[in-house]
Amino acid sequence: MPIGFQLGPLTIRFYGIILMVGAVVAAFVAEREARRRGLNSENVWDALIWVLIGGILGARLWHVFLPSSADVARGLTTQFYLTHPLDLMAVWHGGLGIPGAVIGGVLALFIFCRRRKLVFAEWADIAAPALALGQAIGRWGNFVNQELYGNPTNLPWAIYIDPQYRLKGHENQAYYHPLFLYESLWNFGNFILLLVIGRRYAKQLIPWDLFLIYLVIYPVGRFFLEFLRLDVTRIGAINPNQIFMLLVALVSAGALVLLHRRKNNLSDQANTVVD
């Protein structure tokens, strides 16, 4: 399977193209949502550069400091990256951690909102469905790179992995769970759900709701998919990605409950004063 094409002296990789397509499509979705809310949609395109830079930096740092077991086996450890700066910057070869991308992108959006004097919670809610859709599209970059596949399987939808991309110890096994596809479908479902909630229950929603719902749904899916993954990240016997996802989901669910409980208490107090 080709991973790109030549344009003069440059190699254009499908991985990067797919990631950019995902980012642009996500921006269009966010722009439409901003217009629906009566906000200046130009802020979406201005914020996109910030979010892309923050997301790429965060994703790369996550990968560098929490390399997968497959990368460690190939010598691509944290120490290697820190002593080989050119390899550290070679994001076009893959090696981007989605948790870091989300953290970096959200931090960049926060800084952008502060500079523009925008309400961060409102723009985080606008970004949530778009982020889920961007992830759903971006995961197909892993398909092109023949990475992010799961355990060997003979299921009808198993994907064939070329010998040079098979992990050590699995050289003689050709078909695997399409883990990238599972996550892509999960993210697309998250996108649809957030859109439906955002429109059908608009009057019941409060700031942070959509963003926190995203931070519950995505980590739950990622937590369970980690059980199928071959090249997991390990710190001793612990999978830090899985633990992190579980904590994010629990904290976000707790924040949702507390915010709505606070809203109900304030409503009760207001009704008591009126009575």
What is the C-alpha separation between 246 and 222, in angstroms, rounded? 9
Please check the confidence at residue 231 and state whether its pLDDT lies above 60: yes
| Better-predicted residue by pLDDT, 188 or 12 | 188
**pLDDT tens profile 185-198:** 999 999 999 999 99
Instruction: Tell me the C-alpha to C-alpha distance, in Å, between residue 90 and each of 81, 84, 254.
Output: 10, 10, 38
Classify residue 4: in a domain, yes or no: no
What pLDDT shows up at residue 86? 80
Domain range spanning residue 62? 10-274
Please check the confidence at residue 268 and state whether its pLDDT lies above 70: no
What total number of domains does the chain contain? 1
Quick one: average pLDDT of 31-42?
95
Classify residue 99: in a domain, yes or no: yes
In this prediction the pTM is 0.91
Classify residue 2: in a domain, yes or no: no
Classify residue 22: in a domain, yes or no: yes
Quick one: average pLDDT of 57-86?
85
Classify residue 5: in a domain, yes or no: no
Query: Which H/E stretch holds residue 265?
Result: helix 240-274
Classify residue 219: in a domain, yes or no: yes
**pLDDT tens profile 138-160:** 999 989 988 889 999 999 999 99
**pLDDT tens profile 43-58:** 999 999 999 999 999 9
